[in-house]
C-alpha cells in the first residue's frame, strides 16, 4: 500500500483528497501546516507528497521542496497574475514534478498520482 502525505493549509482540500485516495487503496496522512508536515515527513517517509504551495508567501516552500528532494512530489498552486521571484525559485526547486494550478480537475490529479506511484511496464 502506497503512503501519501498531504501538506496543505486548506482542510477541505486535505479531507476531500484523503477520502478519495483512501477509497482508492492508499494510506493517507493530512497535515495543515508546512512545518508540521515536514516533521511528519521525517518520522514517516511517504511514497508521495501532495504539497499545497502558498503563492502569497512562497519563500518557506523553497526550503521545503529541497528537503523533500528524494520523494515524489505533486504541487498545487493558486493562480496569480505575476510570478514573484520567490515563486519562481519554488518552481525551479520543484522542476520535474507535476504542478497543478487551482482550480484543477480531480481526475487529472488522480491520474498524476497513479502515474507517479505505479511502476511503469517496459
Whole-number mean pLDDT of the chain?
81
Strands (E) across the chain are located at 3-7, 27-31, 48-53, 72-78, 99-102
Q: What predicted TM-score, i.e. pTM, was given to this entire model?
A: 0.83
Q: What is the pLDDT of residue 104?
A: 85
Instruction: Tell me whether residue 29 is in a domain.
Output: yes
- Cα–Cα distance for residue pair 85/44, rounded to 1 Å: 32
- Cα–Cα distance for residue pair 13/17, rounded to 1 Å: 6
Q: Are 50 and 40 in contact (CB under 8 A)?
A: no
Q: What is the pLDDT of residues 20-70, one digit of tens each?
A: 999 989 999 999 888 888 788 888 889 999 988 776 666 667 667 667 767
CATH code for the domain of 109: 3.40.50.2300
Instruction: Tell me whether residue 93 is in a domain.
Output: yes
Confidence of residue 120 (pLDDT cuts 50, 70, 90): low
- Cα–Cα distance for residue pair 46/28, rounded to 1 Å: 9
Instruction: Tell me whether residue 59 is in a domain.
Output: no
Instruction: Tell me whether residue 35 is in a domain.
Output: yes
What's the structural domain count of the chain?
A: 1
Q: Are 20 and 43 in contact (CB under 8 A)?
A: no
Is the model more confident about 72 or about 55? Answer: 72
- Range in 1-10, 27-36, 77-86, 99-108 with the lowest mean pLDDT: 77-86
Q: What is the pLDDT of residue 21?
A: 94
Identify the three-state secondary structure at position 75.
Answer: strand
Q: What is the pLDDT of residue 40?
A: 80
Instruction: Tell me whether residue 32 is in a domain.
Output: yes
Amino acid at each position: 500500500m502506497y503512503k501519501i502525505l498531504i501538506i496543505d493549509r486548506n482542510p477541505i482540500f486535505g479531507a476531500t483528497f484523503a477520502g478519495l485516495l483512501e477509497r482508492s487503496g492508499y494510506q493517507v496522512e493530512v497535515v495543515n501546516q508546512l512545518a508540521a508536515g515536514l516533521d511528519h515527513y521525517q518520522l514517516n517517509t511517504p511514497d508521495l507528497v501532495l504539497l499545497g504551495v502558498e503563492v502569497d508567501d512562497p519563500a518557506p516552500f523553497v526550503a521545503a521542496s529541497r528537503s523533500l528532494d528524494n520523494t515524489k512530489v505533486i504541487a498545487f498552486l493558486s493562480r496569480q497574475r505575476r510570478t514573484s521571484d520567490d515563486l519562481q525559485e519554488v518552481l525551479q526547486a520543484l522542476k520535474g514534478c507535476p504542478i497543478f494550478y487551482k482550480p484543477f480537475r480531480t481526475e487529472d490529479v488522480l491520474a498524476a498520482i497513479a502515474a507517479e506511484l505505479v511502476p511503469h511496464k517496459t
